[in-house]
Amino acid sequence: MVNFIIDGKKISAEKGTMVLEAARANGIDIPTLCAHEAVSRSGACRLCVVEMKKGKRAKIVTSCLYPVEEGIIIETKNERVMNVRRLVLQLLMARCPESDVIRDLASQLGVDAQPRFAADEDKSKCILCRSCVRVCEEVVGVSAIGFSCRGADKAVSTPFNEDSAVCIGCGACAFICPTGHIEMETTEETRKIWGRTFKMKTCDVCGRYFAPEDQLKYISKKTGVPLKELAVCTNCR
């Protein structure tokens, strides 16, 4: 066990725990957008910044990626941390002016949109946290999407913005997206995501549309269960 202090509270946690988890387990709230327990961390949204004091040195670190150490002192809400967090939010607001999630967070911290940061119009709600890319790679295992371009043009997309051949239309990327940028439209017989339209499969027993065909094929390939057994919806199984 490692002993340290967060906001004046003595806390001990297992070695290897991140500061964010240790704080949350002790009722200290740190705002985040991109940290999710199902995927690896990337520290992309920068909202979880805290001040870490080790001996005489104090520095700003991302708490979701900083493992706890013996004797460190963490401040989550002092003036320096709040200044950084406010600046991050101002920049996020300039990038995604439409996002309700970011606007809510900003109003909680009393941050307004700054005229000095010109608002982007072409980025929609994407904050480039890479959660969708990681979930596609780590949880689903197909890597259908990734980042394209660099700098100001960087965006999440399928390779060359064309219909991805490996995408199975599961929608996990849309589910994990913290700001609701990724759109998925489902009607009875089709599902549209990343510009590609998937055909839905009907249940062999009741005839209801229940899952994209490609998704069932992928599961069948991965688990070795024959496709015929998967072609029955959850109701009729």
**Which residues form the interface with other proteins (CB under 8 A)?**
24, 27-29, 36-38, 104, 135, 139-140, 170-172, 174-176, 180, 182-186, 188, 191, 208, 210-211, 215, 219, 234-235
Q: Which is nearer to other proteins, 56 or 228 (CB)?
A: 228
Could you tell me the smallest distance in angstroms from the CB atom of residue 137 to other proteins?
12
Q: Which is nearer to other proteins, 25 or 70 (CB)?
A: 25
Q: Which residue shows structure tokens 């929608």?
A: 171
Q: Which is nearer to other proteins, 146 or 180 (CB)?
A: 180
Q: Return the amino acid letter for 126.
A: C
Q: Which is nearer to other proteins, 208 or 221 (CB)?
A: 208
Long-range residue pairs from 59-62, CB within 8 A, at least 24 positions apart, any chain: 60/84, 61/19
Phi and psi angles of residue 112, each rounded to the nearest 5 degrees, phi first? -110, 160
Could you tell me the smallest distance in angstroms from the CB atom of residue 101 to other proteins?
10
Q: Which is nearer to other proteins, 45 or 216 (CB)?
A: 216
User: 28-62: buried (b, 16+ CB within 10 Å) or exposed (e) per residue?
Assistant: bebbbbbbbeebebbbbbbbbbbbbeeeeeeeebb
Could you tell me the smallest distance in angstroms from the CB atom of residue 235 to other proteins?
6
- Give the CA distances from residue 182 to residues 139, 145, 176, 201, in Å, rounded to whole numbers and listed in that order: 17, 12, 9, 23
Phi and psi angles of residue 221, each rounded to the nearest 5 degrees, phi first? -65, -40
Q: Which is nearer to other proteins, 114 or 124 (CB)?
A: 124
The Cα–Cα gap between 140 and 173 comes to 9
Could you tell me the smallest distance in angstroms from the CB atom of residue 56 to other proteins?
28
Could you tell me the smallest distance in angstroms from the CB atom of residue 122 to other proteins?
17
Could you tell me the smallest distance in angstroms from the CB atom of residue 150 to other proteins?
27
With beta carbons less than 8 A apart as the criterion, state whether 191 and 185 touch. Answer: yes
